[in-house]
Chains A and B, each alone.
Chain A
């Protein structure tokens, strides 16, 4: 019999609908895999196996009646920053250890309404602040992939490292994730999976633990471009409970697949050639350009002159918003409260020092600094102005190109512990992805090849606001051309 845990989301949904197998069967198969793998991969921080089986049996009953939603019976993993009613939600932080939301995030509510089954909550960098999953209070996630030249444990990337590891390691069909500076696309690139961050405002932020509200956006990590189109559609909706939610229709993005790129104009930004970029990354990018040219696209060299300022801008804007958002954790109404204190102020300070990890403390400190009297204009307001320059760079090229092709990351997955020495080195992981967050644009990472160590590398397609259709169209052609079928050898 087929190993149900290796199916794509699409083939699983079709098989469930055709009653080739039941939701209970595929759910049990994933639970078996999670039980065996999680002590090693550490992808799940909460397993909800009993709840999953209940949901699966309910799905089977609906399917038996010929009913069911777009995801009926499909077992998914949920990043631990989506609030789930009655199930612990921590965002990878000791601050929220034991926090059980009495409400459901809009994104996950949409998934359950479409019939999906929840296997559990997925590990992540604390409050989504990290690129390697090493800032999680629950310990780092391990990447199912290993280099051919070393036995070192590799990072699955971050902050959605649990999501990426679980999808790549056959622990769920697909997973929800979120992306503030690259947290969907970088882990997808590091694990040979597909990850898309939609246009800002497509997916509701209601019930997502906030990091930087003007940048945070939910999206899926999946095994194929088609799966990403299916899951993203279910996640997105207009939501009056999110003031930045866009009141627009959510299209069926699977209609973009198979259309080809003949006649599309693809921009290749010269500023994305960065210092010290490995030759393999450049070669992969050149290959991607060639694939699209061969498929009939017109390649246009473009300039996005403010690209190099995107990361420094991000490291002002995101910590500033975080310092404001995370002010809510005062140890009074929910979250960690210190036992020992000498005054009210001391209670706040002790609770936050005990509850937050080192990287979160570092960013909250930067945020407080750039917002403080005397530095607000010099740092924060200046960053907001540069942010507009970065967004204008994109506006200036959309009359000449329909989408933009770049590498997803400047390297393949690195070893756990490798980049902890210097925060700025870690921040550089997001050099190709962060521009799309600052400008609010959709961006997808598609697995496109392997490096010399046999590790996956991704290509990124960035599109116009609300034009995920073209992004999927281009991603589909890249996926077909790359023919990426490599899977990690099971060593866990």
Chain B
């Protein structure tokens, strides 16, 4: 399952990371090295094994559907790259 430059371009876009053309081939080689190493998992008998998504066996707790927090506009915006009048300011994306 070798990865080529085109696959790296596609995956880098899925990850939303700008990747210059001249980095695609070296990245493909790195990822192939890692994936080749990962391929040893093919040896494991996983017939009938349930996927393990968590170490915690307890059921998720429910909480009351009540407002417990709020009125923190200044806190919420305090790390915004840009804000004005209590709003996040984002670049114009619709003409």
Please encode chain A, from 342 to 365, with 1 for each CB lying within 8 Å of some chain B CB and 0 for all others.
011111111011001000011011
- A403 to chain B minimum Cβ distance, whole angstroms, is 18
Contact call B17/A346, Cβ cutoff below 8 A? no
Contact call B80/A214, Cβ cutoff below 8 A? no
Contact call A353/B19, Cβ cutoff below 8 A? yes
A336 / chain B contacts, CB cutoff of 8 Å: 81
- A97 to chain B minimum Cβ distance, whole angstroms, is 11
Contact call A391/B60, Cβ cutoff below 8 A? no
Contact call A385/B27, Cβ cutoff below 8 A? no
Kindly state the separation between the CA atoms of A387 and B19 in the bound complex, as whole angstroms.
Answer: 32
Contact call A334/B53, Cβ cutoff below 8 A? no
Answer whether residue B71 sits at the interface, using C-beta atoms and an 8 A cutoff.
no
Chain A contact residue count (CB 8 A cutoff): 71
Contact call A312/B38, Cβ cutoff below 8 A? yes
Of the candidates A347, A383, A391, A423, the one whose C-beta lies within 8 Å of that of B91 is: A347
Once A365-B17, A365-B31, A423-B30 are accepted as A-B contacts, the answer to whether A332 and B81 lie under 8 Å apart by CB is yes
Once A99-B79, A388-B51 are accepted as A-B contacts, the answer to whether A424 and B40 lie under 8 Å apart by CB is no
The bracket for how many chain B residues form the interface is 35 or more
Please encode chain A, from 194 to 213, with 1 for each CB lying within 8 Å of some chain B CB and 0 for all others.
00000011000000000000
Interface of A is mostly: helix
Please encode chain B, from 56 to 80, with 1 for each CB lying within 8 Å of some chain A CB and 0 for all others.
1010110100000000100110111
Kindly state the separation between the CA atoms of A291 and B5 in the bound complex, as whole angstroms.
Answer: 54
Contact call A422/B56, Cβ cutoff below 8 A? no
Answer whether residue A420 sits at the interface, using C-beta atoms and an 8 A cutoff.
no
Contact call A356/B40, Cβ cutoff below 8 A? no
Kindly state the separation between the CA atoms of A391 and B13 in the bound complex, as whole angstroms.
Answer: 34
Contact call B8/A385, Cβ cutoff below 8 A? no
B19 / chain A contacts, CB cutoff of 8 Å: 353, 361
Contact call A391/B63, Cβ cutoff below 8 A? no
Chain A stretch 361-397: residues in CB contact (< 8 A) with chain B: 361-362, 364-369, 372, 375, 378-379, 381-389, 391
Kindly state the separation between the CA atoms of A178 and B34 in the bound complex, as whole angstroms.
Answer: 25
Stretch from A44-52, A116-124, A240-248 at the B interface: A240-248
Kindly state the separation between the CA atoms of A267 and B54 in the bound complex, as whole angstroms.
Answer: 25
Answer whether residue A309 sits at the interface, using C-beta atoms and an 8 A cutoff.
yes
Once A243-B61, A352-B17, A353-B17 are accepted as A-B contacts, the answer to whether A201 and B55 lie under 8 Å apart by CB is yes
Contact call B16/A308, Cβ cutoff below 8 A? no
Contact call B50/A102, Cβ cutoff below 8 A? no
Contact call B52/A384, Cβ cutoff below 8 A? yes
Of the candidates A201, A323, A352, A388, the one whose C-beta lies within 8 Å of that of B49 is: A388
B56 / chain A contacts, CB cutoff of 8 Å: 200-201, 244, 246, 440
A350 / chain B contacts, CB cutoff of 8 Å: 18
Contact call A384/B51, Cβ cutoff below 8 A? yes
Once A315-B34, A364-B17 are accepted as A-B contacts, the answer to whether A334 and B80 lie under 8 Å apart by CB is yes
Answer whether residue B6 sits at the interface, using C-beta atoms and an 8 A cutoff.
no
A361 / chain B contacts, CB cutoff of 8 Å: 15, 17, 19
Kindly state the separation between the CA atoms of A424 and B31 in the bound complex, as whole angstroms.
Answer: 10
B51 / chain A contacts, CB cutoff of 8 Å: 381, 384-385, 387-388
Of the candidates B30, B33, B37, B76, the one whose C-beta lies within 8 Å of that of A312 is: B37
Contact call B58/A246, Cβ cutoff below 8 A? yes
B84 / chain A contacts, CB cutoff of 8 Å: none
Contact call B60/A243, Cβ cutoff below 8 A? yes
**Chain A, Cβ-Cβ closest to B44:** A386
Kindly state the separation between the CA atoms of A348 and B16 in the bound complex, as whole angstroms.
Answer: 6
Kindly state the separation between the CA atoms of A378 and B41 in the bound complex, as whole angstroms.
Answer: 10
**Chain A, Cβ-Cβ closest to B10:** A372
Contact call A349/B90, Cβ cutoff below 8 A? no
Of the candidates A244, A337, A365, A423, the one whose C-beta lies within 8 Å of that of B81 is: A337
Contact call A424/B37, Cβ cutoff below 8 A? yes
Contact call A334/B63, Cβ cutoff below 8 A? no
Of the candidates A244, A309, A331, the one whose C-beta lies within 8 Å of that of B44 is: A309
Please encode chain B, from 25 to 46, with 1 for each CB lying within 8 Å of some chain A CB and 0 for all others.
0010011011001111101101
- B45 to chain A minimum Cβ distance, whole angstroms, is 8
Contact call A349/B18, Cβ cutoff below 8 A? yes
**Chain B, Cβ-Cβ closest to A98:** B79
Which of A306, A308, A369 counts the most B-chain CB atoms under 10 A from its CB? A369
- B77 to chain A minimum Cβ distance, whole angstroms, is 8
Kindly state the separation between the CA atoms of A187 and B35 in the bound complex, as whole angstroms.
Answer: 27
Answer whether residue A333 sits at the interface, using C-beta atoms and an 8 A cutoff.
yes
A29 / chain B contacts, CB cutoff of 8 Å: none
17 extra interface residue pairs, beta carbon distance < 8 Å, beyond A365-B27, A369-B31: A102-B75, A102-B79, A309-B41, A316-B38, A316-B41, A334-B80, A350-B18, A353-B17, A362-B27, A365-B8, A367-B15, A368-B12, A368-B15, A385-B49, A389-B46, A423-B34, A440-B56
Pairs across A and B, CB under 8 Å, 22 listed: A103-B75, A200-B55, A240-B61, A243-B61, A312-B37, A312-B38, A315-B37, A323-B15, A332-B88, A352-B18, A356-B17, A361-B17, A366-B31, A368-B11, A368-B14, A378-B1, A379-B38, A383-B41, A384-B52, A386-B46, A388-B49, A389-B49
